[in-house]
Amino acid sequence: MRRKLGFSLKEICLIIVITALTTSVTTGIIMYNNNRLENGAIDINKDDALKEFLKVYASLDENYYEDIDKTKMMEAAIAGMFDYLGEDYSTYMDKQETDSLANNLSGTYKGIGISVIDNNRVFKVYPDTPASRANIMENDIILRVNDVLVGEDSVALMLDKDKENVLEIKRGEDVFTVKVMPEEINTPLTREVKEENGKALGYIYVPCFTDTVASEFRKALEEVEGSNIDGLIIDLRGNTGGYLSGATEIAAMFLEKNKTIYSLEEKENVQTYKDDTKEKREYPVIVLINGATASASEILAAALQESYGAKLVGNVSFGKGKVQQTKMLEDGSMVKYTSARWYTPNGDCIDGMGIFPDYSVELSQVDAGEFVDTQLEKALKLLS
């Protein structure tokens, strides 16, 4: 801050920061950066709206008949600004929410080791995790968490991270409970090589775009390519986003130099981002998507589809075509707000519509009591 106000209120910094900072671009997604207040992005003395706010703040602080919790009042004021915007992706996150998000995107998280779709259906169970040790299986339906019915909130949000949880699970016609204690888990990228009609086909599942996803993806890619694969399946089902840089770096591993990855339409300009690397690949790629494929994962799917020629299999994606900027506040909370729309290489905005797959396939079926991943089966058939 450049100068001290007439009343030393630490909380005022929070409001100033929100309106002063415009860096750290993400796609629904988090990248933390601090700048621009010191560089004069706003003149406090000339902002009439801010002056009025400070007058009201000072008046309440001095004259309100009861004691005021200034921190909570400032949190309410910040949240009120985002309520005014009336936009789903612009919001204030308290310290607990911010810490949880940062942990999830750090490459490690505290959980039980499952990926869930449709809020409560188990899509993946990762090895050597509390879920695998509790014998939770793919396609199980989690009905309750600690006696609370699973509704609009996902299972991950309902888990108590600091104690043993009781999960009520439905498997076929059977309903039973298991106990699981969350642990620190490395976000896994599942990889394997599948044989189909004499062809070696690589498979990589990317659950989230963490800050380590690009390096982890490269390791997985080199591992499957060591088997001289004839094609690759990238599974982005249930991937709700993360760091934009991860999606960009992964796309650059496949595209020819100067091919478009995406474009951003900001308030005053449009900027196109292209692959600037010499690295490329030429084997066929199929990307699996569904209704929970969102944000950064949609950017990667669209880039591979339109600039590489990959085919998309599954269901229409979520449809998040907006970009957020974020700012960490002094008390550990965070604000994020929409600053741009992003466009596919062909110039389409998918916000509210999603990306349509080349081959529309329902997620799964049960055949003779056995779970069959029909989307993956379709991808394997196309590549073979």
Two tokens, residue 139: 């396609």
Q: Are 169 and 142 in contact (CB under 8 A)?
A: yes
Q: What was the pLDDT predicted at 285?
A: 98
Q: Could you tell me which residues come within 8 angstroms of residue 51 by beta carbon, excluding any fewer than 6 positions away?
A: none
- pTM comes to 0.72
Task: Please enumerate, as own/partner, the contacts of 159-164 that have beta carbons within 8 Å and a separation of 24 or more.
Answer: 159/111, 159/112, 161/110, 161/111
The number of angstroms, rounded, from the C-alpha of 56 to the middle of its chain's C-alpha atoms is 38
User: Closest by alpha carbon to 303, among 322, 315, 279, 285?
Assistant: 285
The partner residues of 93 in beta bridges, in order of sequence, read 334
Q: What was the pLDDT predicted at 368?
A: 56
User: Closest by alpha carbon to 159, among 151, 171, 167?
Assistant: 167
d(CA 47, CA 53): 10
For residue 219, how many other CB atoms are within 10 A of its CB?
Answer: 11
Number of Cα atoms under 13 Å in the Cβ half of residue 294: 17
d(CA 267, CA 320): 18
User: Closest by alpha carbon to 126, among 181, 189, 178, 215?
Assistant: 189
Q: What was the pLDDT predicted at 257?
A: 97
Q: Maximum distance among all alpha carbons in the chain?
A: 80
Q: What was the pLDDT predicted at 370?
A: 64
Q: Where would I find the H helices in 237-295? A: 244-252
**Beta strands 365-367 and 370-372: pairing type?**
antiparallel
Cα-based distances in Å from 172 to 139, 371, 375: 9, 10, 20
Q: What totals of helices (H) and strands (E) does the chain contain, helices first? A: 10, 22
* Neighbour-count burial of 315, counting CB atoms closer than 10 A to its CB (0-12 exposed, 13-18 middle, 19+ buried): buried
Q: What residue ranges define each of the domains in the chain, with the CATH number in brackets?
A: 12-103 (no CATH), 110-185 (2.30.42.10), 188-324+334-383 (3.90.226.10)
Q: Are 296 and 213 in contact (CB under 8 A)?
A: no
Cα-based distances in Å from 206 to 80, 104, 156: 36, 14, 17
Q: Where would I find the H helices in the chain? A: 12-20, 48-63, 70-85, 95-104, 130-133, 155-158, 213-225, 244-252, 296-307, 374-383
d(CA 239, CA 228): 27
Write the DSSP symbol of residue 126: -
Range 30-44 burial, b when 16+ CB lie within 10 A, else e: bbeeeeebeeeeeeb
d(CA 35, CA 174): 56
Q: Are 307 and 255 in contact (CB under 8 A)?
A: yes
Q: What was the pLDDT predicted at 175?
A: 96
pLDDT per position in the chain (384 positions), as tens? 333 333 333 333 333 333 333 223 233 443 333 333 334 456 667 788 888 888 888 888 889 889 999 888 888 888 888 888 888 888 888 888 888 777 777 777 788 988 887 768 888 888 889 999 999 998 899 999 999 998 766 687 788 888 999 999 999 899 999 999 999 887 778 899 999 999 999 999 998 898 889 999 999 999 999 999 999 999 999 888 888 999 999 999 999 999 999 999 988 899 999 999 999 999 999 999 999 899 999 999 999 999 999 999 999 999 999 988 888 888 888 888 888 899 999 999 999 999 999 999 997 655 555 668 899 999 999 999
